[in-house]
Amino acid sequence: MISDGSFRLDGKLALVTGASRGIGYHLAKELAGRGAHVIAVARTVGGLEELDDEITKAGGSATLVPLDLTDLPAIDRLGGSIHERWGKLDIMIANAGVLGTISPIGHVEAKVFDKLMTVNVSSVWRLIRTTDPLLKLSDAGRALLLSSSVAHSARAYWAPYAASKAAVEVFARSWAEETKQTKLRVHSVDPGATRTAMRAQAVPGEDPETLPTPAEVAAKIALLCDPAIDETGKLYKVQSGKLLSYNNPS
């Protein structure tokens, strides 16, 4: 079932990583616009403050968490802090990610590979681990993990990033399977090519005007936070302005 978009999130608490720019920024705005209080995580304080200004001006509210996701113990502490202050979490979106370098697999520098795996994989697992008990306390917990089409389509020179996104999809499927008897619903979602800094780094020659904006893409992804959705463990993608479910490659 794809949401018709008419739902509200008043009284809900949503955590979004990578909220300082790009898709995460607009996901945070979108959820706040629907009434959720947003916990916005990223390193760039300026980007988070800009987000906070926009959310506040629109009548919403946010808590800013300047955090480097390579600081894995800090992610563990985040769950504890959320529990102490709010006692539950309704939505968790693991959106932050890095591309690393696009190069032949044997040429990737170890430090680039390790950082990519830390941000794209280890931090996502830590987020899952620290938010799982909080999301289960929600009456309609929702978790979304941001993936990419390269997780299941061979593309030369993208191996580390592709492998990290494949891992994320497996996390989502496994977590969904483990929690299907609860009210938590878990999906992975490929946003598709989107006009962001990451896309410009990945495909520098491309005209960004030909790509959908992160606001347009985020509006579609946010539909997966509809408390009425009952499915879990699905893989979604945003394509041609639509949110589509596609078969898990399992």
Q: Does 198 bind ligand NDP (CB under 6 A)?
A: yes
Q: Phi and psi at residue 239, in whole multiples of 5°?
A: -145, 130
- Residue 130 sits at the vertex; the CA angle it makes with 91 and 121, to the nearest 5 degrees, is 90
Segment contacting ligand NDP (CB under 6 A): 3-11, 16-24, 105-113, 221-229? 16-24
The active-site residue, picked from 157, 161, 236, 246, is 161
Instruction: Report the nearest approach of ligand NDP to the CB of residue 1 (Å).
Output: 23
Instruction: Report the nearest approach of ligand NDP to the CB of residue 191 (Å).
Output: 5
Name residues whose C-beta falls within 8 Å of residue 233's C-beta, 6 or more positions apart in sequence.
Answer: 172, 173, 176, 177, 180, 186, 187, 248
- State both tokens at 24: 């995460």
Nearer to ligand NDP, 140 or 189 (CB): 189
Does 25 qualify as catalytic in the annotation?
Answer: no
Nearer to ligand NDP, 141 or 192 (CB): 192
Nearer to ligand NDP, 30 or 138 (CB): 30
The span from the CA of 209 to the CA of 190, in Å, is: 20
Nearer to ligand NDP, 140 or 238 (CB): 238
Nearer to ligand NDP, 140 or 142 (CB): 142
Q: Does 98 bind ligand NDP (CB under 6 A)?
A: yes
Q: Distance from first CA to last CA of the chain, Å, rounded? A: 20
111 DSSP 8-state letter: H
The span from the CA of 93 to the CA of 14, in Å, is: 8
196, 221, 226, 243: which one binds ligand NDP (CB under 6 A): 196
The span from the CA of 1 to the CA of 244, in Å, is: 10
Segment contacting ligand NDP (CB under 6 A): 7-15, 17-25, 53-61, 78-86? 17-25
Q: Does 29 bind ligand NDP (CB under 6 A)?
A: no
Residues 104-143 that bind ligand NDP (CB under 6 A): 119
Sheet holding 142-146, edge to edge: 61-66, 37-42, 13-17, 91-94, 142-146, 185-190, 234-239, 242-246
- 3-class secondary structure per residue, 89-104: CCEEEECCCCCCCCCC
- Active-site positions read 161
Binding site for ligand NDP (CB under 6 A): 18, 20-24, 42-44, 47, 68-70, 95-98, 119, 146, 148, 190-191, 193-194, 196-199, 214
